Chain A
Amino acid sequence: MEKKLIGKRIMRNEDPRLLTGQAQFVDDVNLPGMLHAAFLRSEYAHARLVRLDVSKARQHPGVVAVFTAEDMGKDWFPGPPLVSPPPTVEDVVFHSRRQVPLVKDKIRHAGEAVAVVIAENRYIAEDAAELIEAEYESLPVIMNIEKALEADSPLVHDDLDSNLAAQLSQKKGDYEVARKAADVVIRRRILIERGAAAAMENRGVVAQWDAKGQALTVWDTTQAPIPIRNGLASRLGLSESQVRVIAPYIGGGFGPKIMMFYPEEMLIPWLAMKLNRPVKWIEDRRENFYATTQERGQVHDVEIALTRDGKVLGLKDDFLHDTGAYDPYGLTIPINTQCHAMGGYDIKNFTSEFKVVFTNKIIVTPVRGAGRPQGIFVIERMMDAAAKELGIDPVELRKRNLIQPDAFPYEHGIIDQAFAPLILDSGNYPAVLQKTLDAIGYEKFIKDEQPRLRKEGKHVGIAVAPFIETTGIGPYEGARVTVEASGKVNVATGIGTQGQGHFTSFAQIVAEQVGVKVTDVRIVTGDTAEFHWGTGTFASRGAVVAGSAMHAASSMVRKKIFTLASKILETPEEELELEDGVVRIADMPQRSISLGELALLANPLRGAVEPGTEPGLESTAYYGPRYGPTAFGAHAMILEIDPDTMMVKIRRYVVTEDCGTVLNPLILEGQVHGGVSMGIGNSFYEQLHYDENGQLLNASFADYLLVGATEMPHIEVHHVETLSPLNELGAKGAGEAGAIPVPALFAQAVENALHDQSVEVMEMPLSPNRLFELAKS
């Protein structure tokens, strides 16, 4: 079938609502009798809760209730583990410790919720929260992951022997043999800190309990409404069919909104049932910095072994990973780091052991990239160090090691975050890299422009970073496609949408098969009443997994359309055409029937539905891949630094992206631009400054610097489409791609720009201060 809609730059269906302020976000939900919640949060990062007196708060006019952990009685218990450790890896150490609705005895990070006030409005609730008397016994604070593992370190969890949350090793080939055979072995210590996702919309939960109808409705800024529905039903002793979770329009997800069973998510629905009145809680920005998950630090000890002519024989990467106060999300992030530490290179020997460490900080769960940027940073920095040591051009060194087009599928023999084997399905890595090199004019810049600029005293650097991105993992997603009597198509899926254009790209997939206009396809996402089975939007999997389910369901509907139309028009299926919502006989176009009429005929009020068939023009399909496709890309940047102020200006930025079939280039480019802006933030502007007492010193946008329009360069996006053989769309994910290689790129560019100061960057993020320090030392 020739593609008419897939691959086209089609305007988004959802935009008119969003542009006119008519789209409903969680804080826009307004219910009669609704109450408002505000939390008292601990200012201490590590302390015992000695005394809590909420009596004055309870008496404040307008306050309906105040709850503490004690008040919850037997309904107080921690959240569930979200991701268990991989069953197939040997000798895994894993201590599961999860967050609680309200602190009972010990505070483990600043911002942990101690009590909740429910009042007639948010203003009163916050006033009353200030009247709560809390007495804490402060404990020594654990902030540094290396110190946390020392024998005499205080413990985040007293029932454990240490702050070791987990430990896992993976191996491929035999690194020790590779090391002995190498001509050159290079060692480095690499320190990486990431940051906050800082979606523009903070989190929020609105819950309404209908006592007469025995039904709970929850509006939640979650990327995973179905697991939330299932977990809430379980926690509250309800049937899943009594609970409806709606993720309406969401103002950006980026990862922390797929963390599930946050304290507030566990508490607010319970409160709505307890008080028999709707309850709303909306996070403010300061709370977001303390109470919404972030992705934090790693310390790597890396070793790379190469031959004299630059062939990588092996890589060893042992690292520590900061999980914060609890570890509900399992080993997802550090396993991702392991899987990306070899990049897109043909490395046959690899060993990596990581230790996950508890600290007194907010929980760490995936933020766009989810551990992949760290892995790519490690390998790309080692390649650059190797290039310097061996005297080989850094791009040439990479070319000599890239996995070649005829080597796919390429099996690494280690497992990925979905517990599936890490198999790179397809790719044309050299072509993508070359496209980026050509687009940025690499050769010409190195030979002509850079020497000229350097003579003028300018510090301008160039960098090129290739990377892989594992995407589209299981377990599965589903979709239901229905042609309605109006002739329009209604589609439901279990995942949610946070701006990635599902209402349009999914409509394109469906419209392509069902033969209607893209604007006549209504996509419903994020409502558990509409679709019951699924996981969520994360890990760059929406288009691949939910999209594939949509494609399958639409194809089945297409078959039903032709079968029924053939019967009605008394003509064989091969002689029929479907276009613009109408089925026609190809040679006699005046004989036709519309999809709406067919839909009505498929659901008769009289007669019979044939045994073995279903009524209507509707199909439901699921897609559950054993493993996901791996995308590839190469970014390049030309960067100028003012050595006096160490401020940077990005002169040019080029991306070549290979995510297989591109569903909608407009939407894909938007995803790349956004990812790059987060990557640039992670590299140079964003930094979470904690002091030794676990206090976040820059918990506001005044001091946590998000990139603005004047910091962003113009990004040139190029495409290569190496189809994935793993799904019928040939698609790979791309949601996180923009963010993944940027820190590695920045480090390279900075070193190249400051050529006369022999700066080596083995850490992220940078800042003008830090660059100044590195240049001086």
Chain B
Amino acid sequence: MESTTQNLFELAVTINGTRYERKVEPRMLLSDFLRHELDLTGTHVGCEHGVCGACSVLMDGRPVRSCLMFAVQVNGHEIVTVEGLGTIDNLHPVQKSFQEAHGLQCGFCTPGILTTVVAFLETNPNPSDEEIREALSGNLCRCTGYQHIVDAVRLAAEKMKEK
């Protein structure tokens, strides 16, 4: 993106294992940086005020809302977005589980849920349905009513235990 000010910050960040160096305005949101600067459009923006969770990415392994962060805040950190979880030919077990359990419909909220769930299952590999719902309570979905998402997370937990 063109900038009309010279007030640029030199940002260095690792995203999905690749190191990026860019000059950005301090006020550029992390979500905009990922989507429009780096063309990593898998992370979606649903509300831009931190409630819906669609923009969730992993920062040093923990879910953060990229719409509530400035790109400059991740300088020197490691970010994982949905593009870093798996590929079409090699889906992450969580992604595979979502397909098998029909845990998505329009898919807009899904990337934020996937990153949240991947981090969640690392801290709680054996969750109850109630714990799964609690973990999902920061992600809004308008299509699914959450039921198949809960099924998908349960299935993913089983799959990952077998590995």
Residues of chain A whose beta carbon lies under 8 Å from any beta carbon of chain B: 11-12, 14-25, 27-28, 30, 61-62, 120-124, 197-202, 249-252, 254, 284-285, 498-501, 666-667, 669-678, 700-702, 706, 708-710, 712, 714-715, 738
Contact = CB atoms under 8 A, between A and B. Distances in A.
A702 B99 contact: no
B107 A249 contact: yes
Contact of A201 (B28, B46, B91, B148): B46
Contact of B142 (A199, A500, A670, A714): A199
A27 B48 CA distance: 14
Given A199-B142, A709-B139, 9 more contacts: A19-B110, A27-B45, A28-B41, A284-B48, A669-B148, A677-B146, A702-B49, A708-B138, A714-B147
B128 interface: no
A200 B46 contact: yes
A12 B110 CA distance: 15
A27 B43 CA distance: 11
A154 to B, nearest CB: 34
B44 to A, nearest CB: 7
Interface stretch (B7-15, B58-66, B70-78, B80-88): B80-88
Taking chain A's interface residues, is the majority helix, strand, or loop, or is none over half, making it mixed? loop
Given A15-B98, A20-B95, A667-B102, A30 B39 contact: yes
Top 8 A-B pairs, shortest CB-CB distance = A21-B42, A499-B106, A251-B108, A673-B145, A18-B107, A499-B105, A677-B145, A701-B51
Given A12-B102, A21-B81, A670 B108 contact: no
Contacts of B27: 123
Among A18, A197, A498, residue most surrounded by chain B Cβ atoms (within 10 Å)? A18
A124 B95 contact: no
Interface in B79-130: 81-83, 85-88, 91, 95, 98-100, 102, 104-111, 114
A673 B43 CA distance: 25
A101 B145 CA distance: 36
A178 B98 CA distance: 55
Interface residues of B, number: 63
A670 B102 contact: yes
Contact of A252 (B91, B108, B136): B108
A25 B49 contact: no
Contacts of B4: 61-62, 120, 124
Contacts of B108: 25, 199-201, 251-252, 499
Contact of B140 (A501, A670, A708): A708
A706 B53 CA distance: 13
Contacts of B32: 122
21 contacts: A12-B102, A15-B99, A15-B107, A18-B107, A20-B85, A20-B86, A21-B40, A21-B41, A25-B44, A200-B52, A200-B106, A200-B109, A249-B106, A251-B44, A670-B102, A670-B145, A708-B138, A709-B137, A710-B137, A712-B133, A715-B145
B144 A670 contact: yes
A21 B111 contact: yes
Nearest to B106: A499
A433 B83 CA distance: 46
Contact of B88 (A17, A27, A251): A17
Contact of B107 (A121, A499, A673, A708): A499
B160 interface: no
A16 B48 contact: no
B54 interface: yes
